[in-house]
Amino acid sequence: MLFEAVKVKDALNILKENLRSIPVRSKEVPLLESLNRVLAEDIYSPEDIPPFDRSTVDGYAVIARDTFGAGESLPAILKVVAEIKMGERPGVALKPGEAAKISTGGMLPEGSDAVVMLEYTHPFEDGTLVVERPVAPGENVILKGEDVKKGSLVLPKGHTLRPQDLAVLAGMGLQKVKVAISPKVAVISTGDEVKPPGSELRDGEIRDMNSFSLAGLVLKWGGVPVIYGVVRDDFNDIRKAVFKALDETDLVIISGGSSIGTRDLTVKVIESLGKPGVLAHGLAVKPGKPTILGAVEGKPVVGLPGHPVSAMVIFELVVRPIISWFLGRPENYGRIKVKAKIARNISSAAGREDFIRVKLEERHGELWAIPVLGKSGIISTMVESHGLARIPSEKLGVKEGEYIEVELY
Amino acid sequence: MLFEAVKVKDALNILKENLRSIPVRSKEVPLLESLNRVLAEDIYSPEDIPPFDRSTVDGYAVIARDTFGAGESLPAILKVVAEIKMGERPGVALKPGEAAKISTGGMLPEGSDAVVMLEYTHPFEDGTLVVERPVAPGENVILKGEDVKKGSLVLPKGHTLRPQDLAVLAGMGLQKVKVAISPKVAVISTGDEVKPPGSELRDGEIRDMNSFSLAGLVLKWGGVPVIYGVVRDDFNDIRKAVFKALDETDLVIISGGSSIGTRDLTVKVIESLGKPGVLAHGLAVKPGKPTILGAVEGKPVVGLPGHPVSAMVIFELVVRPIISWFLGRPENYGRIKVKAKIARNISSAAGREDFIRVKLEERHGELWAIPVLGKSGIISTMVESHGLARIPSEKLGVKEGEYIEVELY
């Protein structure tokens, strides 16, 4: 167990080593349901796309060399021998000096290797075609297999499917695809003063916010949240909830417990439930230091800080990668980073990674990151900001105008 | 009707003028289901968050001025008169010289205005508290309403809800929220050579890809896709499908018809179904010029080019804003743009907006956009690229190393 505040990366590595190997569970879903899901298999194309040489314009299929040197003053003269119907195999094969009328998407007849656009031709009643421009072999044609080659790896396992990916899968004739099953993530809130949103508050009580931001983040990053509600700060109550959650879900997150007493409770509960128990207690991160990473019988349990901003920041740093392990996708999936100039000096302790909520603003064509200051208990700072600027652990701060990396929400 | 190729913006404006005013239809959903949906009402907070002055640390609630000037050599000496229980109203009011033990999240007792952290205090058995550091009024406290003020506008109508927004809504006690109803978007593919994914292909036939990329984009941008399948290139067949779709959905998109004949069919169908009919035919955009915008009895109908890349590009430029109208959200919602240096010269025609598929790559700390070349019929170029670089209509191209704007997929 790491008692000293450790780097996020080190804590995740220790956790990974202590988990039961995570096999990506998968199921087949219809194409349209696979959007935003993670491929659980490599996809090789069973066929060529397109399956034949295909015209990309309206015009005449020709043999390119018949048009070499053609111009307005000395056009090529060809003979139209057929009109190609859409969706059908051409009935002819072109011989030198011949052409066939073709529409966009039509199949090139045997012998032809290019298409002259309609606007550079003059057809005559007797079948003579005047071509005023040369075409190169392959011009205005998508060759068989030019889009996707039969047998080629089109999309790798671990890839998250986008609209264009559905198109290419459909193009190959696939109607179903194997995707990773989303891990179930238990969301438990703790705190004697924390009440569910529906309740009337008495003095000293506040409403549970973390269950909703964390369940929202679970959904956003591809998990299925299971909300266990608010549990009192009591060893037996927390233990009962975590025990149930470990049984019913793949990953348990407990938020709350920023007071020393409660943090200790979460540690004791994890330790009491099974081996190896708590693996790291305290991260070298601000906000979010009082984070607990543990594992019980091969399942990860994460104790997030109670302050709502800290809980969200640590979710992004710690829980998001764990969800990615279950999905078999790259840990850094979905991290959209931009570079911006920081709008004021910010100091930071050495050896600690700092995350600053920032608003982005364009000023004279440059992107600026304006820190949104506020305690980590103030959720509205997350509502008003656009992303988190990162001060790496080796830096003692940043100076106004310095470039920093901002990860967008 | 605009017969000349027009700017996307102008075409959208004409369309908007010709639509029945679009009232945003709304319904109430439970908080967790509201993620990624668009607020249909302004949200004002019915209460203060937090509803009382709240400690952010473990320590002692004090009257700040009692600690002014305190140091290790000359500490302040206070008397501990109570321990505040979590989730309860403190039983005491502090008088000068008094302190109360408090945990993170505890309610400050009347009279106190700051909290001294545990580590700067020494408590003695007899109730004496030695304080070795001064605190300023408000230090280590979140004041009542400091996060959200009662009556303040927290989230505006038209805002798309993120995890942190759910948290703040939960914090105010809301369990349901009014969101915009997603518009139904009809997706129709046309083409005699186009077959559904499940079918065996004969020579000259290809599979329908556009239905899937376009339905995927509809989902991505908040609509509900209704796939009508592939319709033959026949006036009556297309008319029947569009007529049905107009009855059953809010917005109709027809893809296919890149050949002149089919494009004319789509125009004729739209004209035949009702007023005002076709409003713009041809956009000053590459790829995607052969686009048709129309309206029938107040409902938008868009004819997208058949080439799969062009269809996706025009969806983003034309259909996405229309979906946003129905949702009542800003047209530019979700456009994530980054600046990058273009990796090679690209020429462009004046008066035409060009969109280049690019891969992004970091080289020596700078972001570069590497054009993925390929005909607009080649969907794999969309699979391999990360976004679209835009060459504005007033430019004749971009030079290698020039900064361009890239919109990420």
Instruction: Note whether B50 contacts A107, CB cutoff 8 Å.
Output: no
Query: Are B298 and B391 part of one and the same domain?
Result: no
Hey, is the C-beta of B164 within 8 angstroms of any chain A C-beta? yes
**Number of A–B residue contacts, CB under 8 Å:** 286
Residue B123 and residue B77 share a domain: yes
CB of B301 within 8 A of CB of B239?
no
Model confidence at B1: pLDDT above 70 = no
- Contact status of B377 with chain A (Cβ, < 8 Å): yes
Query: Domain check: are A241 and A291 in the same one?
Result: yes
Same domain, yes or no, for A35 and A98? no
Q: Provide the pairing of β-strand A184-190 with A251-255.
A: parallel
Is pLDDT above 90 for B350? no
Residues A185 and A313 reside in one and the same domain: yes
Residue in A147, A202, A259 closest to B380 by CB: A147
CB contact under 8 Å between B164 and A90, yes or no, is no
**Nearest CB partner across the interface for B213, out of A164, A219, A306:** A164
> Do the domain assignments include residue A20?
yes
| A350 vs A16, higher pLDDT | A16
Chain A residues touching B210 at Cβ < 8 A: 167
Q: What is the pLDDT of residues A364-390, one digit of tens each?
A: 888 999 999 888 889 999 999 999 999
Give the one of B85, B86, B166 whose C-beta lies nearest to A191's C-beta. B86
B256 pLDDT band, cuts 50/70/90, is confident
Nearest CA in chain A to B48: A206
Residue of B nearest to A36 (CA): B220
**Is the link from the previous residue into A392 a cis peptide, with omega within 30 of 0?**
no
Identify the pLDDT of residue B20: 76
| Distance in Å, alpha carbon of B297 to nearest chain A alpha carbon | 30
pLDDT at B12 over 90: yes
State whether B209 and A167 contact (CB < 8 Å): yes
Read off the pLDDT of residues B175-228 as tens digits, 9 standing for 90 and up: 999 999 999 999 999 999 999 988 999 999 999 999 999 999 999 999 999 999
Range of the domain at B219: 8-25+181-327
Neighboring chain B residues of A90 at a CB cutoff of 8 Å: 204
**What 8-state DSSP symbol labels residue A34?**
G
Which residue in B has a C-alpha nearest to residue A58's C-alpha?
Answer: B259
Distance CA A268, CA B177 (A): 38
Indicate if the pLDDT at residue A103 is higher than 80: yes
Answer yes or no: do B103 and A261 touch at CB < 8 A.
Answer: yes
Domain-embedded: residue B163: yes
* pLDDT band at A256; cut points 50, 70, 90: confident
A2 lies in a domain? Answer: no
Interface of A with B in 255-294 (CB under 8 A): 258-261
CATH number of the domain that residue B295 is part of: 3.40.980.10
Q: Tell if the CB–CB gap between B380 and A197 is shorter than 8 Å.
A: no
A348/A215 same-domain check: no
Statement to judge: residues A83 and A191 lie in one domain: no
Same domain as A173, residue A93: no
B39 with B176, same domain? yes
Residue A223 in domain: yes
Last residue of a domain, one of B327, B362, B385: B327
Residues in chain B: 409
Mean of pLDDT values over A99-128: 97
Indicate yes or no: CB of B225 within 8 angstroms of CB of A54: no
Q: Residue A350 — very low, low, confident or very high, per pLDDT cuts 50/70/90? A: confident
Write out pLDDT tens, residues A48-82.
999 999 999 999 999 999 999 999 999 999 999 99
3-state secondary structure of A179: strand
Q: Which residue has the higher pLDDT, A302 or A350?
A: A302
Tell me whether residues B171 and A51 touch, CB distance under 8 A.
no
Q: What is the CATH number of the domain that holds B352?
A: 2.40.340.10
State mean pLDDT over B147-174: 97
A74 at B interface, C-beta within 8 A: no
Interchain CB contact of A167 with B (< 8 Å): yes
Residues of chain A neighbouring B260 (CB-CB closer than 8 A): 58, 103, 118
Residues A138 and A169 in one domain: no
Q: Facing residues of A300 across strands?
A: A295
pLDDT value for B198: 87
State how far residue B38 is from chain A, nearest Cα, in angstroms. 15
Gyration radius of chain A over CA positions: 31
CB B213 within 8 A of CB B312: yes
What is the DSSP code string of B310-374? Answer: HHHHHIIIIIHHHHHHHHT--TTTT--EEEEEESS-EE--TT-EEEEEEEEEEETTEEEEEE---
CB count in 10 Å sphere of residue B267: 18
Tell me how close the Cα of B253 comes to any Cα of chain A, in angstroms: 16
**Chain B residue whose CA is closest to A50:** B206
| B313 pLDDT higher than 80 | yes
Average pLDDT score, chain B: 95
B303: β partners: B254, B292
Number of separate domains in chain B: 4
CATH code for position A30: 3.90.105.10
Asked if B204 reaches chain A (Cβ–Cβ under 8 Å), the answer is yes
Q: Could you tell me if B214 and B356 lie in one domain?
A: no
Residue A223 pLDDT exceeds 70: yes
* A contacts of B314 (beta carbons < 8 Å): none
Contacts of B52 in chain A (CB under 8 A): 203-204
Q: Which two tokens stand for residue A270?
A: 């994890």
Chain B residue numbers with beta carbons less than 8 Å from the beta carbon of A147 are 377-380
Touching A: B residues 315-374, CB under 8 Å: 336, 338-339, 367
| Closest CA–CA distance from residue A222 to any residue of chain B (Å) | 13
Is A191 close to B107, i.e. CB distance below 8 A? no
The reply to whether B153 and B265 lie within a common domain is no
The predicted pLDDT at position A258 comes to 63
B162 versus A262: the higher-pLDDT residue is B162
Q: Which residues make Cβ contacts (< 8 Å) with residue A38, sequence separation at least 6?
A: A158, A159, A160, A161, A179, A180, A222, A327, A328, A329
Q: What is the mean pLDDT of residues A297-303?
A: 95
C-alpha A111/C-alpha A105 separation (Å) is 17
Residue of B122, B124, B129, B127 whose CA lies nearest to B63: B129
Give pLDDT, residue B257. 63
Distance CA(A134)–CA(A42), nearest Å, equals 43
Exposure string for B16-52, b = 16+ CB within 10 A, e = fewer: eebbeebebebeeeebbebbebbbbbebebebbbbbb
The mean pLDDT value for B379-390 works out to 96
Compute the distance between CA of residue B324 and CA of residue B223 in angstroms, rounded to an integer: 9
Chosen domain end from A276, A295, A327 = A327
- Tell me which of A53, A54, A115, A164 to substitute to probe the interface with B (most B C-beta atoms closer than 10 Å): A164
- Check A260 against B118: CB less than 8 A apart: yes
Is some CB atom of chain B closer than 8 A to the CB atom of A104? yes
Quick check: is A391 in a domain? yes
pLDDT value for A21: 77
When pLDDT is averaged across residues B234-262 and rounded to a whole number, the result is 91
Enter the ipTM: 0.94
Is B214 at the interface with chain A, CB within 8 A?
Answer: yes
Who contacts A364 (Cβ-Cβ below 8 Å, separation ≥6)? none
- The three-class DSSP label of residue B62 is strand
| A 216-245 residues inside an 8 A Cβ radius of B | 216-217, 219-220, 225, 227, 233
Tell me which of A286, A308, A327 is where a domain ends: A327
pLDDT score for A257: 63
pLDDT digits (tens, 9 = 90+) for A146-157: 999 999 999 999
Residue A309 lies in a domain: yes
Residue, of A335 and A62, whose pLDDT is higher: A62
Asked if residue B198 is part of any domain, the answer here is yes
Closest in B170, B308, B376 to A208, CB measured = B170
Whether this prediction's pTM lies above 0.90 is answered by yes
Q: How far apart are CA B193 and CA B64, in angstroms?
A: 81
> What was the pLDDT predicted at A1?
55
Domain-located, residue B2: no
